[in-house]
Amino acid sequence: MRTLAITVLALACLIPAAALTSSASTAKDRALVLRLKKQRLTKIEFKETNLKGIVKWLRVATSKNIMIKKTALAKAGVDWEDLTWTLSLKKVSVWTFMNEVIAKPHDMALKVKGNIVFITSKVDGYGKPVTKMYGITHITWTKTDFIGPDINLNPSGFVAEEYTPEVIREDDPLNNGDAVAELLKDILHPKLWEANDTWSIRATDRYLVIRAPAEVHNRIPRVLGKIASMK
């Protein structure tokens, strides 16, 4: 049994929880997240309490529908049934407690749908994947070395040296789509690409076809821009 022991008298200094992932796409979902961030728990005390016990207590303390998404956690390999918590907290928001203390440290996430708060896997928390295409020719273009033109003034009858052809750079790691795809995955959630079979990248030297959640897509153009600047 793994035990998380935390003793905190005031959690006001805890970093605020990040905004909910793209799975909370409706106004109703966002409103519930806002209520959970505003609702504060005066005192929380647990001693070697498992996740089921904490969820049962939270349902009573918050009057909210909270559920454990067992199938998604099992698929992600999260041994949530073996987790226990020993802690003492005061004056902490419901969202901060659930997200920063319960979910994040154990590779879990929160997902709001309708009037239900799910404790689920990180992959499921991002929401359903969608497919988009991205051009990458501005990254995979071939780098070459060449001799620049002679800008000196030459006398009459001068014979130029033999033309030196361009030489393709063999040490360019970004001259093919597969290399760009692998670097993109290394930058954006590397563990999550390998942990599920719903996210994918297909690559050619001209474009990438990426299947991932909307939140991941929102970050891809900026990452590709950074990769292009490395050429």
- Give the residue with greater pLDDT, 189 vs 179: 179
Weakest mean pLDDT among 65-79, 142-156, 165-179, 198-212: 142-156
Residue 85 has pLDDT above 80, yes or no: yes
Domain limits, the chain? 2-124, 130-147+168-228
* pTM listed for this prediction: 0.64
Distance CA 52, CA 122 (A): 19
Q: What are phi and psi of 32, to 5 degrees?
A: -65, -40
Whether residue 23 is predicted with pLDDT greater than 50 in this model: the reply is no
Tell me the C-alpha distance between 186 and 126, whole Å. Answer: 18
Mean pLDDT of 9-35: 57
Which class would CATH give 2-124? alpha beta
Which of the two residues, 71 and 163, has the higher pLDDT score?
A: 71
Instruction: Confirm if 201 and 136 have CB atoms less than 8 A apart.
Output: no
Q: Which pLDDT value is given to residue 131?
A: 97
Question: What pLDDT, on the 0 to 100 scale, is given for residue 16?
Answer: 35
What digits encode the pLDDT tens for the residues 43-65?
999 999 999 999 999 999 999 99
Per-residue pLDDT tens for 89-120? 999 999 999 999 999 999 999 999 989 999 99
Q: What is the pLDDT of residue 153?
A: 74
